Amino acid sequence: MEVNCEGCAGCCLDWRPLAPADLDHERRGPYRPLDDTYNLAPVTADEVRTFLDAGYAAALTPRLFRTDDGPHATVGGVELAAVGDRPAFLVGLRKVPKPVAPFGTEPAWLDTCAFLDPRTLQCRIHDTDAYPETCRTYPGSNLALGVESECERVEAAHGGERLLDGDPPDDATPAFTPGALGTRVFAHPDPDRVADAVERLAAGEPTPADRAEFVAVAAASAPGTAAVSDERYERAKARARGTTSWVDGAIAEWVERADERGPGGAGDGADAGDTTRSDTTPDPALARDAEDERGAPETPGWD
């Protein structure tokens, strides 16, 4: 397997606004994500705990699935895929609006991984212990299963060569196997406790407390079972709510800037004839204030 990632990051951001056709591969079949995050990168229970230790809880988000077939639980008025009577969920990397210019396009506000540097389109935690296996091995699992990768979708939409060698690596394995329960797939033990959170997740308006609840359950889960340790859950939830890093402030600033943007990327109060770049113009260099100044790790750039 060999990929050409420079100037791409198609696996790290929501590039649907730049695609000539609908990208709906995540919403086929019996299980449909409750949220609208594109190409969620799931993490394991061990990785969740590593993120909590690093103060990166704000970069994690849960994913639950609607289903009309198979085991399900009705939570918050929504029929969700379940393990027994417990709603099943994943935890993945959160995407927030950032000014990026993938595939040689003009900069635009696109939902982007919390760890992606908008200027280099490289991951800020690539060389750290927190770098998830999902990201490290991508698109190995796709190749092993014969499933189209983001590399190939980008090639089809924007040209160029992204997947240089499509032979799956020897250690490529499917992410979701029967042993994934408690490791990558989690089951919430108290559906009533998350009924309101499910409604907010369905509306695209989860709160930090909602995310922390699911993150804590994932961190307290045991491999191969739906069991959740109450003691580990309480510790993980306290850490998710009480430990912060550069990620928290950066996410808040990106969301604020994106919310203030107006037509063409200018702020709502901008004069239509004013060509001066504002704080809400989609300029990747804004990462200096939003992320660098808060202590975000540097990326190496491209040779």
Mean pLDDT (whole number) for 60-70 = 93
How does residue 264 score in pLDDT terms, banded at 50, 70 and 90? very low
Task: Output the pLDDT for position 266.
Answer: 35
Mean pLDDT of the chain: 91
Task: Output the pLDDT for position 279.
Answer: 59
Whole-angstrom distance, CA of residue 83 vs CA of residue 5: 37
Which residue, among 152, 148, 153, 147, has the nearest Cα to 163 in the 3D structure?
152
CA atoms within 13 A on the CB side of 83: 18
Encode pLDDT of 101-141 as tens digits: 999 999 999 999 999 999 999 999 999 999 999 999 999 99
How does residue 269 score in pLDDT terms, banded at 50, 70 and 90? very low
Task: Output the pLDDT for position 4.
Answer: 96
Task: Output the pLDDT for position 277.
Answer: 38
- Whether this model's pTM surpasses 0.85: yes
Q: What tokens were used for 262? A: 């107006």
Mean pLDDT (whole number) for 7-24 = 93
Distinct helix (H) and strand (E) counts, the chain: 9, 12
In percent, the amount of the chain with pLDDT more than 90 equals 79
The CA-to-CA distance between both ends of the chain, in Å, stands at: 21
Q: At what angle do helices 230-242 and 208-219 cross, to 10 degrees?
A: 140
Q: Which residue has the higher pLDDT, 178 or 243?
A: 243
